A and B are shown apart, each in its own frame.
Chain A
Amino acid sequence: MKYRTAIRGLILIATSLVVAGPSYAQTAEEITSSIISGDPEFNFMGFGDLNYISRDGNNEDGFTIGQVVAHMSASLSDSFSIFAEFTGTGKDSQYSFEVERLIAKYEFSDMFKLSGGRYHTPIGYWNSAYHHGSWLHTSTSRPEMVKFGSKLVPIHFVGILMEGTLPRNRLGLSYSAGFGNGRHENVARSGDAGDINSDKAWMVQVQSAPDRYYGLKFGLGFYNDEITPDDRPEIKESTVSAYVAWTKESPEIIFEYLHSEHEELLNSSVSGDVDAWYAHFAYRLKGKRRDWKPYIRFEKTEVDDTDPLLFDQGLNFDASILGLRWDFNPYAALKAEYRNEEFDNNGRENNFRLQLSFVLAKL
């Protein structure tokens, strides 16, 4: 009964936000004038989520506000645009606000776009396809290997990025190559105020989205950095990631794998690997039940005992996840998720999550 009341309340809040959102249509004169005059054009989007979490043997269960996300973009000219993303995240006793992305991009052509700023590191699929805004992804949360504050994958990077699509190719080949600050001495963070050492991080990712199989994407990426953690010697990090994604929803299949090697710079005999993957399957039902989308996900992360960077971070993880998403509104979804997880080989536990996620956007 309590749950029902809570769900009704959450739905009411989300619906109110959506209904209260901006609703206007431009006339022909306004569209013509905005494009021909070359005046900057601003766009805004917002995401948010509200959660109820219940965990085995945990007394701190209850309602949480997830992330409140604000996206802003502006076309300052045909080729030059600015994109910014800010988040507010509920913590124990306060909210933390963060500039998640700030990108100034100049597009020379489809083949070559150059930008500078703070990015979601273009490595793998989930980190750049969804990242913030849980309404975008099917499940209630990100896979553990790319969770916020992950020490496994450098979630953000600050620097420059070149990207583009190769012209007229049936394989839909595209690339992105970045160069910038590596990880901070707290390895979960990017070097927002400069690199902590003289060796910059670099990354390359090649992706394919074949014309013939719309919805299919696969990619291969590399990331390389030298890390100076605050409590141990300098470490060389090399990561390779690969993914396959079929995103047409009936079915939706995402498989992502990551292999990371860490080696002490002054003593190459001290080294270790990390392997992590997840496999996500979902299926949007057809016909009258198309608002419903059951899903299942398996995740695994294994860290070598000899890994000089991550051996003592408790990152070993194993999970089976079963959930159901209900898109009761074009801009809002309710998700229920059961999770059976094991953190760092400490025994399995059961979790239950209920989430209301929504987007404030107008096309």
Chain B
Amino acid sequence: MGGRTISACNYPLCWQSYKMPILMKMNTHNLTIRNWQTTICLVGMLLAAANVVSAESSIAESGLAIVVHKDTEVENLSLSELRNIFRANQQFWPNRSRIVLLVRAAQSDERDFVLNKIYEMNEDEFRRYWIAKMFRAEVPRGPKVVFSTGMTLDLVVAIPNSISFMRADNVTDDVKVVRIDGKLPGEDGYPLK
């Protein structure tokens, strides 16, 4: 509960990165890197940008897999049902077990993809949506936040009734992949790519 986890993706948000546009503006013809912190931030931003491009192309190629705990009695969901689950309008599986929703932390490509394709919200709307949902006492808590694909796999394996998502090429045999509109990732017409 008390442990603080620092996301490896935090570096693009360090304070130095906000200074860069100002520096660049001031020294249009002669951009000088003022100190080692700025250098690290610049490299970090470039790496992050490269990573985003590579990950996005990967989701687009392989698709995003919806994964559940192996014992969950669900094989197929329509995109509409999936949206209702992720928006917590459906909170129970058909066997009346409560669904445990695991969502990637901000600044991951999988989360951006899910916000866009499933939630149909941006990051601000997503935050407001869950705060309002908790305020109306429609849910006792928000979704559980996970920080990496590895953590997602660990939790879906360990927690009965859990559901989450990851790039299809990261899926292992330890979790069950749910068909969406009757299709698996990689099949023609799969809606999450």
Residues of chain A at the chain B interface (Cβ within 8 Å): 23-28, 30-32, 34-36, 41, 43, 45, 71, 73-75, 78-79, 81, 83, 101, 103, 105, 107-110, 128-129, 131, 133, 136, 165, 168, 170, 172, 209, 211, 214, 249, 290, 327, 330, 359, 361, 363
Contact = CB atoms under 8 A, between A and B. Distances in A.
Interface string B66-83: 000000000000001101
B141 interface: yes
A107 B92 contact: yes
Nearest to B130: A363
B136 A129 contact: yes
Interface of B: 1-5, 7, 80-81, 83-84, 89-92, 96-98, 100, 105, 120, 124-125, 127-128, 130-132, 134-137, 140-147, 151, 154-155, 158-159
Contacts of B151: 28
Nearest to B154: A28
A170 B84 CA distance: 11
B141 A45 contact: no
Nearest to A249: B125
A78 B137 contact: no
A129 B133 CA distance: 9
A301 B144 CA distance: 44
Contacts of B84: 172, 211
A43 B1 contact: no
A327 B122 CA distance: 15
Q: Which 8 residue pairs of A and B lie closest in terms of their CB atoms, listed nearest first?
A: A25-B5, A81-B140, A78-B98, A83-B137, A75-B140, A363-B142, A211-B80, A32-B158
Contacts of B128: 136
A36 B158 contact: yes
A75 B135 contact: no
A55 to B, nearest CB: 30
B91 A103 contact: no
Contact of A28 (B7, B120, B155): B155
Residue among A34, A105, A131, A211 with max Cβ neighbours from chain B (10 Å): A211
Given A24-B4, A32-B158, A172-B89, A45 B132 contact: no
12 contacts: A24-B1, A30-B3, A43-B134, A45-B131, A73-B140, A74-B140, A108-B96, A172-B84, A214-B120, A290-B124, A363-B130, A363-B145
A35 B125 CA distance: 27
Contacts of B92: 107, 109-110
Contacts of B96: 108-109
B159 A35 contact: yes
Nearest to A135: B131
Given A71-B135, A73-B141, A109-B96, A32 B159 contact: yes
Contact of A214 (B7, B83, B131): B83
B90 A165 contact: yes
Contact of A79 (B98, B130, B144, B147): B98
Contacts of A36: 158-159
Contacts of A81: 140
B90 A136 contact: no
B155 A330 contact: no
